[in-house]
Each structure stands twice: as structure tokens, then as C-alpha cells.
């Protein structure tokens, strides 16, 4: 093992990329950008961003709404008839990253197959990139489809990248518009990169650590727990050894080839109580001394919930959906009503570990009762119709994991309890015609999937997954539900880029008093993400996974549904 106190002389970026198997697959060199300024495009309806032939980022034509009729007929004249019921920003997987933490595992990018997201050239700029997306969400205070004011925002999990206290605090403070100091340990950058990922900005890594004043989100926002919020690397329950590593002073910069093979067989070889000395004793492994930081400690589930009460009074709500009872019991799920719509938030993280999700039995039974309480008509498990006196509401279910990723059967703390997976959730939701939408994150890509029900189209629903500002193309999504007054609803999905300009030179500092232009850094982050040789190159599965009007038939009388009025705050 090489103990490396001066890695800038010992390890170059090229050596690091060679060790993890990425050298030669692409370039991180950022070419000169055009002097042409932005055209003020607000959403991808107006303009898209793509890579030009020379590798530079260029503005492209907008993407119109794709009208999708898998679950309902698109009847003529609906634009003039429709009544907006709700509009909200769907954000996900900010994955705020302490890239200097000893608990990071960048070496996993060299495993076969590589662990997705183990190393990202733009990872030192996660806070700035997320803040730029918040800036754009603030600008989009009305739906581009109907002009309705935004009711709220929801973040569907993985606010942190590696379950650390400081990562969560940076996230909450950024959302609140409080000053953020995205540095940890000793002052200055102490991560694995020894050169800027953007040669035109040689001091980028230094600038990324400096404090700045974020704009803050101006809407009430709700939180969802993700696997990376409470699991180390999003996959392992934190233990004493993992915590000592995270808060300690030794960071693995490079694993030697033999050590890499062993470590890739299981992260417990480094993080577990029986960690292998072979890994650290490999002569080609490089370990650097870094500054200790107790704020890198891992959070227990109850602590993660409690931190959501350490927040600004406005825009609220207190706890961001969670209640004091949530902290006491560890139940990271809840429901809230907004006019005609109810949002039911679930916790799909399996505390036993692994990235995939599932739902514990008490929560699954609670979900069924919450669905019944908002349904005038539903179907029991045997398929028989049940009529109630309950007030009908349209229902949105929010989870971190989409249905396809609810595939983790491992038992939680109560080994006797069943873990409910994707097919179980789908079967339950199909019993309630008022369920029209399931939103999720986790996959880091935009996706829209119909969930039909054989024999009864009014028991179908749509599932929408939204990407991340930490990965190309760094976007968010605005979702609106409108009553077409013809027996159908339109769920309108509008994707938008962050407020960072295409050209970093065009970046205007939204908070100039702090002398730190976070929008310039966010613009450089987007360029680095676009050129990340590990990314698959696709911004989404299809254009219809981004800007889309999703038709769905409903059986309830929508004329009786109430509406809600949004009251966004002014950004600080």
C-alpha cells in the first residue's frame, strides 16, 4: 500500500481513469463554447440541449407534447374544456455528494461490471447543479399547459449520495436558501481527482468547495426517503466500522489490481467488521491522509427523519411531510391532501440492504386503508366491488423506487414479516380506480409507463420516473393533472433543464453578494456530465418519456372534485 500525502504528484487523472477502466472511452476536455447567449428557453418545449459534432453543447429544437392514448382516448376540444386540478414539480435523486469522504468508493467504477455512479467527473459540483435546477423550478411558477400556479414540489428520494449527515444538511439548507459550505474535512479539495475535469477551468475543484448562497425553493416541498439516504453506497446498513472510516482520516484513492478484484466481490471487504487486510496491503493501493470530519457520520433512519424538522418556517411544511410520530416510530411514510388530489408517500427502502426496494407489511396494510379512505368505490382482493361513504379524491402514489425496482425480498428487522414487491403494489393500486399516477425516481432517467388493468380501463394508472440533476442531462419535471370534462384526465408532463446556461461564460450569478457564481459552476458540471465516458449517452428512453400528455379514463364524477389554490413564496 502506498500512503500518499501528496497525491497530486503521485496520481494523475489519466492514471485514475486507466485504473478504473475508463481511459480511452471518451474525453473530459471541454472545448471552447460559443459566445452566443441563451434564448431564454424555460422548458424543453422551447429548446433542448445536445452534443454537437465537435463535442460542444448546443441548443436544439424543442420537443412538443407527445399525446399518449394507451389508457384513454384523446377527444377533440379538450384543451378548451379542461379544468386544472393540481400542478407540481417532480424532483428526484439530487444525490448531494461529499466527494472527499473516506467512505466514498470511487474504485467501484473499475469493477466488472462497473458500479454505476461510483465515480462521476462532475461529482464535486452536485450542490451547484441541484441549485441551478431549483432556480429553474422557481422560474416555472405556472404550468405551461394551462397557466395554473404551482401547488408544491416533491423530491422522490436520494437527497444524499452516501447517507452522510453533511450531505443531508447541504440538501436541506440548499432547499431552504440558507448558505451552504460544500466542503468537508480539511479546507480545500481532497478527493480522487487531481486535475480539473474541465481544463478551461483549472481551479474548478477549488471553487467547488467554496460557500455560496443558494436561491432556495419557493414552493412547499415534500420529501421521500431513498436507499442512498440511509444505506452506505445505497446498499448496506451502516455499521461501526463504516462510520469510523467515514469520519476518519484515511481515504482510498486507488485500489491495486489484485485488491480491486477482491473488493469488487463485496464492499464488506472494506466496510465490514471483518475487512480484509489483503485489500489495504496491496502494494499498488494508494491511500491518502485527509482531514477528519465528524459531520460525515452516517445517519440512522430516525435521525434522517428528524433532520427534516431543522428547516426554515417558509415555504414549509414543517417536517416536509413527516411528523413527530414519524421520528418516534421510524415510519417514513405519510399522506397529504391538496384540493381534489391526495398524495400518498411510501418508504420503499429495505433496511436489510441492497439498492432494490420493497415495502414492509405494516406499511402495506396502512397503504390499503389510506386508499380506502379516499375512495367511494373500490374492489376487494377477490375482485368484488365495494361501495363506501368516503369522499372521492384522485390519488397519486409517490415512492423512491419505481415498480420494476421493487425487487428486494430480503427480510428487514422483523424476519417474520413479508416484504411486498412491485407486482404486489401494482395489484393493490389496480383495486382503486381513483389511483391515476405513481411517481418515482431511483433510475436517474425519465420514463413514462402505462399500467393497464385487463378488462377495466378505469382501473389503470400511469407511472412516471424522473431523472437527476447530478447526471446528464440534469433535468426536472413539472406534472399537471387536468380534468377534460369528458370522462378523461390529462396528466401533462413537462421536462425542463436547469437554469445554468449552455455556455458557462453566460452565467449570471443569482446571489452576487457571496462573490461565488454557482451558475457558472453548474454550467461546467453539465458539460462534464455530458462528456462522462461512463454514461450511456441517452437522455431518456424516448421523447414520449419526457414531454407528454397522458390520457386516462376515470369512472368518478370529476365535477364534484374540489380544487386547490397554490401560494408559492418569493425566492429569497
Tell me the per-residue pLDDT of 267-320, one tens digit each, with 9 for 90 and over: 565 655 555 666 667 888 888 999 999 999 999 999 999 999 999 988 999 999
pLDDT tens sequence across 345-384: 999 999 999 999 999 999 999 999 999 999 999 999 999 9
Mean predicted confidence (pLDDT) in 431-444: 97
Query: Across all residues in the chain, what is the average pLDDT?
Result: 89
* Rounded Cα–Cα distance for residues 94 and 158 (Å): 6
Number of C-alpha atoms within 13 angstroms, CB side, residue 254? 26
**CA distances in angstroms from 45 to 42, 61, 129, 564, listed in the order given:** 8, 8, 21, 26
Instruction: Please check whether residue 356 is in contact with residue 406, taking contact to mean a CB–CB distance below 8 angstroms.
Output: yes
**How many percent of the chain have pLDDT more than 90?**
74
Closest CA to 331 of 396, 408, 411, 412: 412
pLDDT band, very low/low/confident/very high, at 411 (cuts 50, 70, 90): confident
Mean predicted confidence (pLDDT) in 546-552: 98
Angle at 97 between CA 95 and CA 102, to 5 degrees: 135
Instruction: Please check whether residue 518 is in contact with residue 507, taking contact to mean a CB–CB distance below 8 angstroms.
Output: no
Closest CA to 41 of 497, 505, 529: 497
How far is CA 457 from its chain centroid? 31
pLDDT at 520 exceeding the cut of 60: yes
Q: How many CB atoms lie within 10 A of CB 558?
A: 20
* Rounded Cα–Cα distance for residues 326 and 321 (Å): 9
Handedness of CA 466, 471, 473, 474 (dihedral sign): positive
pLDDT band, very low/low/confident/very high, at 192 (cuts 50, 70, 90): very high
Instruction: Please check whether residue 143 is in contact with residue 478, taking contact to mean a CB–CB distance below 8 angstroms.
Output: yes
For residues 155 and 109, which has the higher predicted lDDT (pLDDT)? Answer: 155
Cell (9 digits) for 10 = 503521485
pLDDT tens sequence across 455-508: 899 999 999 999 999 999 999 999 999 999 999 999 999 999 999 999 999 999
Highest mean pLDDT among 27-31, 226-230, 236-240 belongs to: 226-230
**CA distances in angstroms from 226 to 161, 229, 441, listed in the order given:** 10, 5, 9
Instruction: Please check whether residue 441 is in contact with residue 466, taking contact to mean a CB–CB distance below 8 angstroms.
Output: yes
For residue 481, list its beta bridge partners.
Answer: 86, 491
pLDDT at 524 exceeding the cut of 80: yes
* Rounded Cα–Cα distance for residues 511 and 517 (Å): 8
For residues 103 and 258, which has the higher predicted lDDT (pLDDT)? Answer: 103
Cell (9 digits) for 139 = 422560474
What's residue 130's pLDDT? 98
Q: Is the pTM of this model over 0.85?
A: yes
What's residue 15's pLDDT? 47
pLDDT at 40 exceeding the cut of 70: no
* Rounded Cα–Cα distance for residues 399 and 107 (Å): 30
Amino acid at each position: 500500500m502506498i500512503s500518499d500525502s501528496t497525491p497530486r504528484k503521485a496520481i494523475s487523472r489519466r492514471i485514475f481513469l486507466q485504473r478504473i477502466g475508463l481511459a480511452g472511452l471518451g474525453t473530459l476536455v471541454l472545448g471552447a463554447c460559443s459566445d452566443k447567449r441563451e434564448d431564454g428557453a424555460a422548458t424543453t418545449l422551447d429548446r433542448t440541449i445536445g452534443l454537437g459534432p465537435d463535442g460542444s453543447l448546443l441548443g436544439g429544437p424543442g420537443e412538443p407534447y407527445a399525446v399518449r392514448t394507451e389508457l384513454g382516448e384523446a377527444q377533440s376540444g379538450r384543451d378548451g374544456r379542461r379544468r386544472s386540478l393540481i400542478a407540481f414539480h417532480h424532483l428526484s435523486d439530487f444525490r448531494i455528494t461529499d466527494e472527499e469522504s473516506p467512505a466514498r468508493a470511487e474504485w467501484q467504477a473499475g469493477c466488472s461490471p462497473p458500479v454505476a455512479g461510483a465515480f462521476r467527473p462532475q461529482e464535486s459540483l452536485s450542490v451547484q447543479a441541484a441549485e441551478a435546477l431549483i432556480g429553474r423550478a422557481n422560474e416555472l411558477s405556472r404550468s405551461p399547459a394551462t397557466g395554473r400556479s404551482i401547488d408544491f414540489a416533491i423530491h422522490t428520494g436520494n437527497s444524499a449520495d452516501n447517507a452522510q449527515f453533511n450531505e443531508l444538511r447541504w440538501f436541506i439548507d440548499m432547499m431552504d436558501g440558507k448558505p451552504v459550505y460544500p466542503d468537508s474535512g480539511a479546507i480545500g479539495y481532497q478527493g480522487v481527482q487531481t486535475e480539473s475535469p474541465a481544463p478551461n477551468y483549472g481551479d474548478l475543484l477549488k471553487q467547488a468547495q467554496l460557500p455560496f448562497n443558494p436561491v432556495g425553493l419557493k414552493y412547499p416541498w415534500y420529501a421521500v426517503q431513498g436507499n442512498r439516504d440511509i444505506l452506505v453506497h445505497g446498499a448496506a446498513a451502516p455499521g461501526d466500522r463504516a462510520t469510523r472510516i467515514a469520519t476518519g482520516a484515511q481515504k482510498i484513492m486507488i485500489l491495486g489490481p489484485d485488491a480491486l478484484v477482491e473488493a469488487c466481490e463485496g464492499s464488506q471487504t472494506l466496510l465490514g467488521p471483518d475487512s480484509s487486510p489483503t485489500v489495504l496491503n496491496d502494494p499498488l493501493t494508494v491511500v491518502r491522509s485527509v482531514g477528519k470530519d465528524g459531520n460525515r457520520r452516517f445517519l440512522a433512519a430516525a435521525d434522517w427523519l428528524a433532520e427534516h424538522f431543522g428547516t426554515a418556517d417558509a415555504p414549509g411544511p414543517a417536517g416536509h411531510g413527516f411528523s413527530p410520530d414519524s421520528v418516534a416510530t421510524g415510519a417514513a411514510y405519510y399522506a397529504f391532501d391538496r384540493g381534489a388530489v391526495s398524495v400518498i408517500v411510501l418508504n420503499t427502502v429495505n433496511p436489510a440492504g441492497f439498492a432494490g426496494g420493497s415495502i414492509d407489511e405494516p406499511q402495506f396494510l396502512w397503504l390499503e386503508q389510506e386508499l380506502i379512505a379516499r375512495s367511494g368505490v373500490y374492489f376487494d382482493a377477490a375482485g368484488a366491488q365495494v361501495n363506501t361513504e368516503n369522499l372521492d379524491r384522485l390519488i397519486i402514489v409517490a415512492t423512491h423506487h419505481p415498480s420494476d425496482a421493487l425487487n428486494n425480498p430480503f427480510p428487514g428487522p422483523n424476519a417474520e414479516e413479508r416484504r411486498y414487491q412491485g407486482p404486489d403494489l401494482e395489484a393493490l393500486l389496480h383495486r382503486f380506480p381513483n389511483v391515476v399516477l405513481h411517481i418515482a425516481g431511483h433510475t436517474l432517467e425519465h420514463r413514462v409507463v402505462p399500467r393497464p388493468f385487463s378488462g377495466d380501463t378505469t382501473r389503470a394508472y400511469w407511472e412516471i420516473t424522473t431523472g437527476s440533476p447530478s447526471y446528464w442531462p440534469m433535468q426536472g419535471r413539472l406534472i399537471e393533472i387536468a380534468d377534460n370534462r369528458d370522462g378523461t384526465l390529462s396528466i401533462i408532463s413537462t421536462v425542463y433543464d436547469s437554469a445554468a446556461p449552455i455556455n458557462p461564460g453566460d452565467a449570471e450569478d443569482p446571489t452576487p453578494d457571496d462573490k461565488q457564481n454557482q451558475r457558472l459552476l453548474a454550467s461546467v458540471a453539465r458539460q462534464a456530465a455530458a462528456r462522462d465516458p461512463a454514461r450511456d449517452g441517452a437522455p431518456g428512453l424516448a421523447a414520449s418519456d419526457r414531454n407528454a400528455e397522458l390520457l386516462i379514463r376515470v369512472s368518478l364524477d370529476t365535477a364534484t372534485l374540489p380544487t386547490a389554490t397554490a401560494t408559492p413564496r418569493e425566492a429569497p
